[in-house]
Amino acid sequence: MIPGPMGKQDYSEKALEILEAAEVRMRRGGFDAVSYRDLAADVGIKSSSVHYHFPQKSELGRAVVERYTDNFLSFLGAPDAPKNSVEDRVRRLCQGYQHALTHDKVPCLCCVLGAESLDLPPVVSEAVSNFFVRLIGWTSTALGDLSGAEDLAKHLISTLQGTMVTALALKQPQLLIDAEPYLVRLVRQERRSP
């Protein structure tokens, strides 16, 4: 079974503000880089009030990751829209990563949390794992009828994740642009000779 959207828990407006602030901080420095005190200042309330919305930090982390996953997939759109070619879809996937870094100015959440997987609270690392499962599912579908589509999907996602890390460490966001032709060409070749 392919995991689907978690179903919005219709968060209150303030809860959404907290999730948004937590996402930015988490993407910037990882799970430990988020504190209730900072979040409270971000949204203009006290830290005990943040606890009212999210009693435990691990649950806050899980919520942030699930919301991020939904938003990311929402940005990508349908993986099998007939109006888009396979190459269109691969480019759209690349855009998803480019958008994360150049528009949001912070890396992909699951790039950061994925790297610290071994040290995360289980509910959070499970949510991160689920991000990858769902994104690989999207990509696999986007690749269409192709033997080894899932392996290729994993490879494409991995490449984009890693390019983001390198782009970040070297302060060269251009790397994410440069990666696109590599990936488009790879997909083209795999479809010719699977």
The site for DNA (CB under 7 A) is made up of 12, 14, 32, 34-38, 40, 44-49, 51-53, 55-58
Structural contact between residues 143 and 187, judged by C-beta atoms closer than 8 angstroms: yes
Structure tokens at 6: 């978690």
Contact string 50-89 vs its own copies (x = CB under 8 A): ----------------------------------------
Q: What is the 3-state secondary structure (H, E, C) of the chain?
A: CCCCCCCCCCCCHHHHHHHHHHHHHHHHHCHHHCCHHHHHHHHCCCHHHHHHHCCCHHHHHHHHHHHHHHHHHHHHCCCCCCCCCHHHHHHHHHHHHHHHHHCCCCCCHHHHHHHCHHHCCHHHHHHHHHHHHHHHHHHHHHCCCCCCHHHHHHHHHHHHHHHHHHHHHCCCCHHHHHHHHHHHHHHHHHHHCC
Contacts of its own copies in 107-126 (CB under 8 A): 107, 110-112, 114-119, 125
CA 29/CA 115 separation, integer angstroms: 11
**Min CB(123)–DNA separation in Å:** 11
**Min CB(120)–its own copies separation in Å:** 8
- Specify the residue, 32 or 88, whose C-beta has the smaller distance to DNA: 32
- Specify the residue, 1 or 118, whose C-beta has the smaller distance to its own copies: 118
- Specify the residue, 2 or 81, whose C-beta has the smaller distance to its own copies: 2
Select from its own copies, DNA, none the partner in contact with residue 132, using the beta carbon and a kind-dependent cut-off of 5 to 8 Å: its own copies
The answer to whether 29 contacts its own copies (rule: CB under 8 A) is: yes
- Specify the residue, 36 or 138, whose C-beta has the smaller distance to DNA: 36
CA 55/CA 51 separation, integer angstroms: 4
Select from DNA, its own copies, none the partner in contact with residue 103, using the beta carbon and a kind-dependent cut-off of 5 to 8 Å: none
The answer to whether 128 contacts its own copies (rule: CB under 8 A) is: yes
Binding positions for its own copies, rule: CB under 8 A = 28-30, 32-33, 106-107, 110-112, 114-119, 125, 128-129, 131-133, 151, 154-155, 157-171, 175, 178-179, 182, 186, 189
